[in-house]
Amino acid sequence: MKTAPNLILFLLLLFSCTKSEIDTKPTIEGTLIRINSYTETCQGFIEQTCLLVQTGEAIGTDVWTYFYDGINGFEYVQGFIYDLDVKITERNPVPQDVGRYEYTLIKEISRTAVD
């Protein structure tokens, strides 16, 4: 009966965690993301279409990076440059073949048409 002590230890550890400890997900509120007016084909887990984004000090420069994820609550329309205020939440646990972070739109700050 070696499994009984292991099972008891597991149950003690499981129930020693409070619900708030289990549900805690680090979030970053109020992150500015600029989205370009066009997308590009990129290679993640599979070939897909990626948004081109700027964050932090890259905003306003010529440096754009691929964005493989979607943004909850945001519907992209090609031909516009967007400045978005987003909330970033770390997924815990991280599902397979999905990014580590989940992005949720807080507010569309601006949408500028590009000719």
| Domain range annotation of the chain | 24-113
Q: Helix, strand, or coil here: 87? A: strand
pLDDT value for 114: 95
Residue 96 scores a pLDDT above 60:
yes
The Cα–Cα gap between 58 and 105 comes to 20
**Residue 1 pLDDT level (bands cut at 50, 70, 90):** very low
> Is-contact 63 53, C-beta < 8 A?
no
HSE of 26 in the Cβ direction (CA atoms, 13 Å)? Answer: 5
